[in-house]
Each structure stands twice: as structure tokens, then as C-alpha cells.
Amino acid sequence: MPAVKYQKGEKVMGRWPGSNLYYEVKVLSFDSMSQLYTVIYKDGTELELKEQDIKSAAGFQARSRSRSRSRSPGRRRSRSRSPARTTRRSSSRTAAAVAAAAITDSVPSSRRETRLKDTLEVRPSPLVISTSHSYLHLYWSHNIDVKFTPTRLQNPFNAVLVFDLSHPSVLYVLTGFFAIVVSAVVVAVALHQGLDLTYIHSHFLQLAVATFLIATLLSVYLYVRSRYAPQEQLALGGNSGNVVYDFFKGHELNPRIKDFDLKFFCEMRPGLIGWCLINFAMALAEMKQQNLEAPSNSMILVNLFQLLYVVDGLWNEEAILTTMDLMHDGFGFMLAFGDLVWVPFTYTMQAYYLVRHPNPLSFPALTAIVILKLVGFYIFRKSNSEKNAFRRNPSDPKLSYLKTIPTATGKSLLVSGWWGVIRHPNYLGDLLMALAWSLPCGFSHLLPWYYMIYFIILLVHRDSRDMSECRRKYGSAWDEYCRTVRYRIIPCVY
Ligand code: NDP
């Protein structure tokens, strides 16, 4: 095993991800599996860095001294800025500020203003023509910090325009809702032309296997191209040098073909829209197999409930940009398989089951299930929106009634509102909805309960992963939050 270059406790210079800025950090640990160093900045921020993003302090100072002789005063001044030196208020500086700092430090002063202008300049005109949008969001890769600049425009589809400051030429137009509407129109036209969608039910396994092969081929392509990707575009994980592990985990963070972001597309389009399409095909297959003029009420419930979930996800699509999947995980087999195969072919199990096992619901049962779904959806949407709004703009006057705990990173934690009741109110809402998806199928078989069981395991595991990640990020502030908000997902129980 190769020797570890930097030792625990050693003070070194660590690159701030996505920039050319180096700050003094202390090495906390080294993970031989991922080959990453966990380091802590002076303000308490902990990050995982690759070896090539670390320099020894002595070597760095020697190089800096020799280079600084030829530098402009402006450049020297900018280098003294660091996340470690920021005050609580300024440490939550925006992506634009971070990017500006990076640019200021790495570009000679003669070209600096032009480059900075190029990077930050918003050029909405062609996009305003091509799509209507309500928000202009500025993101920075790795989501170390995010600047949202809301610009409300007329917008029937809630499309969102996103600039990625790490790739100044790249910007996403998030049109998830528009995509599902277009897909629905295409399906309607195809049905009108005589397409038999029940084929999806009769060839379910074949389609699943074919999609699995596509996901595998895609993963091979992703792995091969990642070998040629620049270092700064690789994911922090999936970078171990072990071919099998890196193939599985994903080596490149956001592989793109020109401006087309493959990971974002797979996360939000084929799987989610395919899920709804398969459910719909199951409703048609049920009518055909059971000689019904309309789908059973249980099939209608399952279809509508899951459609609502997907449409809500696509409508609020920008939330994906702050998730672990998009910001930290590389795009490899794990995500390709999950997005393209797992979601559409296993989340449709309730509808698949109902085709052969119709389960007509009495009116009271139907009403109870609908109420359960609506309660779950209300908790899920309200709690997610509360946190998203707070993260987007912590000083939003509409949120001033919420109590918070400051943390060393400059971010605060909510300790009242939904996040003051339990630590994951959004998971509780999601679980109640999952229950409402399985109940219409009755209790005679385990298959339709697969999602509920899988989801409990997934969310409990995700919760504990998030707990340790937050403890690492926020230290004693997180412990204080946990003391104040004792329960994780179910009030007074868990
Ligand atoms: P969360 O949206 O709960 O995000 C957790 C993060 O929120 C933490 O890392 C922290 O990040 C921030 N946070 C935690 N507590 C607080 C607080 N008190 N105040 C402010 N910020 C806080 O987790 P997920 O990304 O796992 O889930 C998002 C949604 O997606 C959920 O509704 C979940 O149910 C759903 N989901 C659905 C799946 C499915 O297959 N159907 C799969 C996975 C998730 P930071 O401080 O850095 O902002």
C-alpha cells in the first residue's frame, strides 16, 4: 500500500473546490478506500480533498514568495481573502463572490474584469425567447455555496434557468414540467394512432432487461470518457483507482456532451416520466385483462398518487441541484441503473400487481387512503419548501418567525417550524405517501408492499448517513440541534 503523503494533524494548504484558491487546512484523516483526505479549514468547514488538491505549507510558501514578486498589488490583496477569515455573515458569501474570488486570484489583472464579466454576465435574451421561466438561479459546482437570483417572469411551466459558474458557458434550462406535458401529448397522439401500450405489461421483463443493458452500456461509456476527463471534473468519490469500484460509483461528476448534462437528464427525465408511462400502461392492461370499461378505483388511486409525486418533483425540479446525487456523486453504474431501471421498473410494482389482482375499494377505505396521501403530501411539500426557502434566502422576512442555531460554517439550522418537530419531517411525509400507495392493493401479497419496505430501509439509512454528515459539517451546533429536536422521523417514537 502506498505511504500516506500527509499525516493526521499536519497543517497543509488545501485547494478550495472549484477554484484555484489555497487555504491553510489541518489534515484530520485519510480514507484509503476513496483515497481522500478529510481536512478542516480555519472556520471549521470540513471537506474531503484529493491528494493533488493539497500542497505542503512549506513548498507552497516558497512558491508563493517567488511568484508574488511579479504580481500586481490587486492580486496580493485578493489572496489574503479566505473562507477562514470571513465573519459569520460574510462566510455565507455567494457563489458569485466565491467564483469572483477564484477568478481574481487566477487571472492577471489586465484580463480580470473581462473574464469576470464573461462569467457572471447573465445573457437572458435567447432563453427568454426559447422558454418562459420564473427563477434565475446561479449555482456553483459542488454546491459549496449557492446564489439564487429570483427573477419572476410569466411562466406557465415553472421552468428554471440555471447558470453553472464552474462552466461559464453552461447553463441549464429546467423544464421538467414542460417535458412531462409534451410526453403526455405524444402518448395521447400515439394512442389515437392505435399504439397498444399494454405491450409494456406483456413484455415487462424484456423491457426491464433491455433497459438494464442500456444502463450498463451507458455506464461503460461514462467510465471510458471519465478516464480522459480533467482532474477538476472528477467526483470526490469514485476516484479510487479500483476499476470496478469507480465504474460502479461514477468517476466523473457531471459528464456533459456540449451543454447536455447526462446525469441531470437521467435523474429527472426518462426514469420519472417512464414511471408514469408504465403506470398508465398498467391501467390499460388492467382494463383489457379484466374486461373493464374503466380502470378500478384502486388502480386510479395508485396512478394519480404517483403522478402527483412525479409532477411535484418536476415542478420543483431545481431542488435536485442541491442534492447529493447531483453535487457530489459521480455518474456511473449506480446512478445510471437507479435512474433508468430501478425507479421505472420497481416503483411501478403496485400498478403491475393490480393488473391481475384488482382490489375494488369501498368508499370509506378510498376516502381514508386519499386523506392519508394528502396529509403525507402536505407534510412532505411544506417541510421541503420551508428548508429550501430558508437555504435559498436565510434572511427572507417571510421566515423571520423561525428560530435558528448558528453554525461555524456560516449556515444556520432551523430549530422551529417543521424542522423543529422532527429532524426529517420530509421523510415522514414521504413515508405516509408510500403507505397510501400500497394500501389500495390490500394485504394479500407482499409485492405491492415492496416499495414501502424498501423505502423505510432507504430513508432510515439515508437519515443516519445525513446525521453523520451533518455532525461532521456542523460539529457542536448539530449536537445542540439534536438535543433540541430529539426525534428523527416519527415524533415521540423514532
Ligand atoms: P433532506 O432534504 O432532508 O436534506 C438533508 C439536508 O438538509 C442536510 O444535509 C442539511 O444540509 C439540511 N438540513 C438538515 N436539517 C436541517 C435544519 N434543521 N435546518 C436547515 N437545514 C437542515 O434530504 P434528502 O436529500 O435525503 O431528501 C430530499 C427529499 O427527497 C425528501 O423529501 C426525501 O423524502 C425524498 N427522497 C425520495 C426518494 C425516493 O426514492 N422517492 C429517495 C431519496 C429522497 P445543508 O445544511 O447542507 O443544507
Q: Highest mean pLDDT range out of 125-139, 304-318, 334-348?
A: 334-348
The DSSP code for 145 is S
pLDDT in tens, 219-258: 999 999 998 888 778 887 777 888 999 999 998 988 989 8
> Could you tell me if residue 466 is inside a domain?
yes
Q: In terms of DSSP bridges, do strands 135-139 and 160-164 run parallel, antiparallel, or are they unpaired?
A: parallel
Kindly report which listed range (45-54, 94-103, 171-180, 281-290) carries the lowest average pLDDT score: 94-103
Task: Please state, in angstroms and as integers, the Cα–Cα distance from residue 65 to each residue in 6, 11, 69, 104, following that order.
Answer: 22, 18, 7, 18
Question: 85-119 burial string, b = 16+ CB within 10 Å, else e?
Answer: ebeeeebbbbbbbbbbbbbbbebeeeebeeebeeb
Kindly report which listed range (170-179, 211-220, 463-472) carries the lowest average pLDDT score: 170-179
Single-letter amino acid code for the residue at 249: K
Cβ(462) to ligand 1 under 6 A? yes
The pLDDT confidence band at residue 218, using thresholds 50, 70 and 90, is very high
Q: Is the pLDDT at 484 greater than 90, yes or no? A: yes
Rounded CA separation 247/184 (Å): 34
Atom 5 in ligand 1: which residue has the minimum CA distance? 466
Contact 175, 158 (CB under 8 A): no
Cβ(352) to ligand 1 under 6 A? no
Mean pLDDT of 290-318: 94
pLDDT in tens, 322-333: 676 777 788 999
> Same structural domain for residues 283 and 307?
yes
Looking at residue 331, its pLDDT comes to: 93
Atom 2 in ligand 1: which residue has the minimum CA distance? 384
> Same structural domain for residues 349 and 478?
no
Contact 315, 373 (CB under 8 A): no
Residues 6+ apart with CB under 8 A from 29: 8, 37, 38
Ligand 1 center–CA 323 separation, angstroms:
8
Looking at residue 62, its pLDDT comes to: 56
pLDDT in tens, 382-425: 999 999 888 878 888 888 899 998 887 778 899 999 999 999 99
> Could you tell me if residue 411 is inside a domain?
yes
Q: Which of 45, 326, 382, 470 is the best mutation target for the ligand 1 pocket, counting ligand atoms within 8 Å of the beta carbon and taking the most?
A: 470
> Could you tell me if residue 6 is inside a domain?
no
Kindly report which listed range (68-72, 299-303, 357-361, 396-400) carries the lowest average pLDDT score: 68-72
> Same structural domain for residues 431 and 460?
yes
> Same structural domain for residues 240 and 341?
yes
Q: Which of 427, 431, 452, 482 is the best mutation target for the ligand 1 pocket, counting ligand atoms within 8 Å of the beta carbon and taking the most?
A: 427
Ligand 1 center–CA 449 separation, angstroms:
24
Q: Is the pLDDT at 140 greater than 90, yes or no? A: no
> Same structural domain for residues 220 and 336?
yes
Looking at residue 20, its pLDDT comes to: 61
Rounded CA separation 402/474 (Å): 19
SS3 15: strand
Of 140, 171, 202, the domain-final residue: 171
Ligand 1 atom at shortest distance from the alpha carbon of 466: 9
Mean pLDDT of 147-170: 50
SS3 423: coil
Residue that wins the pLDDT comparison between 473 and 106: 473
**Residue 313, class by beta-carbon neighbours within 10 Å (0-12 exposed, 13-18 middle, 19+ buried)?**
middle
Looking at residue 156, its pLDDT comes to: 59
> Could you tell me if residue 375 is inside a domain?
yes
Range of the domain at 116: 90-171
The pLDDT confidence band at residue 169, using thresholds 50, 70 and 90, is very low
Ligand 1 center–CA 428 separation, angstroms:
12
State how many domains the chain has.
Answer: 4
> Same structural domain for residues 115 and 56?
no
Ligand 1 center–CA 425 separation, angstroms:
9
Of 360, 394, 422, the domain-final residue: 360
Ligand 1 center–CA 286 separation, angstroms:
36
Cβ(383) to ligand 1 under 6 A? no
Q: Highest mean pLDDT range out of 14-18, 32-36, 135-139, 485-489?
A: 485-489
* Percentage of residues of the chain with pLDDT beyond 70: 74
Neighbouring C-alpha atoms within 13 Å toward the C-beta of 272: 21
Q: Is the pLDDT at 475 greater than 60, yes or no? A: yes
Cβ(412) to ligand 1 under 6 A? no
> Same structural domain for residues 333 and 195?
yes
Contact 48, 107 (CB under 8 A): no
Looking at residue 40, its pLDDT comes to: 83
> Could you tell me if residue 2 is inside a domain?
no
Cβ(470) to ligand 1 under 6 A? yes
Residue that wins the pLDDT comparison between 323 and 357: 357
Q: Is the pLDDT at 180 greater than 80, yes or no? A: yes
> Could you tell me if residue 149 is inside a domain?
yes
Distance of CA 450 to the CA centre of its chain: 24
Ligand 1 center–CA 377 separation, angstroms:
15
- What number of other Cβ atoms are within 10 A of residue 310's Cβ? 21
Looking at residue 222, its pLDDT comes to: 96
Average pLDDT, rounded, for the chain: 78
Rounded CA separation 488/494 (Å): 6
Looking at residue 98, its pLDDT comes to: 31
> Same structural domain for residues 199 and 335?
yes
The pLDDT confidence band at residue 138, using thresholds 50, 70 and 90, is very low
Of 311, 344, 360, the domain-final residue: 360
Ligand 1 center–CA 462 separation, angstroms:
9
> Same structural domain for residues 426 and 452?
yes
> Could you tell me if residue 100 is inside a domain?
yes
Nearest to 158 by CA among 22, 314, 353, 344: 314
Looking at residue 104, its pLDDT comes to: 31
> Same structural domain for residues 278 and 356?
yes
> Same structural domain for residues 328 and 465?
no
Ligand 1 center–CA 211 separation, angstroms:
29
> Same structural domain for residues 429 and 441?
yes
R_g (Cα) of the chain, nearest Å: 25
Q: Is the pLDDT at 17 greater than 50, yes or no? A: yes
Task: Please state, in angstroms and as integers, the Cα–Cα distance from residue 279 to each residue in 286, 297, 319, 430, 471, following that order.
Answer: 11, 14, 25, 19, 40
Cβ(391) to ligand 1 under 6 A? yes
The pLDDT confidence band at residue 173, using thresholds 50, 70 and 90, is low
Give DSSP secondary structure letters for 297-365: HHHHHHHHHHHHHHHHHHHTGGGGGGSHHHHTS--SHHHHHIIIIIHHHHTTHHHHHHHHS--PPPHHH
Task: Please state, in angstroms and as integers, the Cα–Cα distance from residue 358 to each residue in 34, 155, 192, 234, 245, following that order.
Answer: 49, 40, 26, 48, 43
Nearest to 386 by CA among 363, 415, 366, 359: 415
> Could you tell me if residue 410 is inside a domain?
yes
Cβ(488) to ligand 1 under 6 A? no
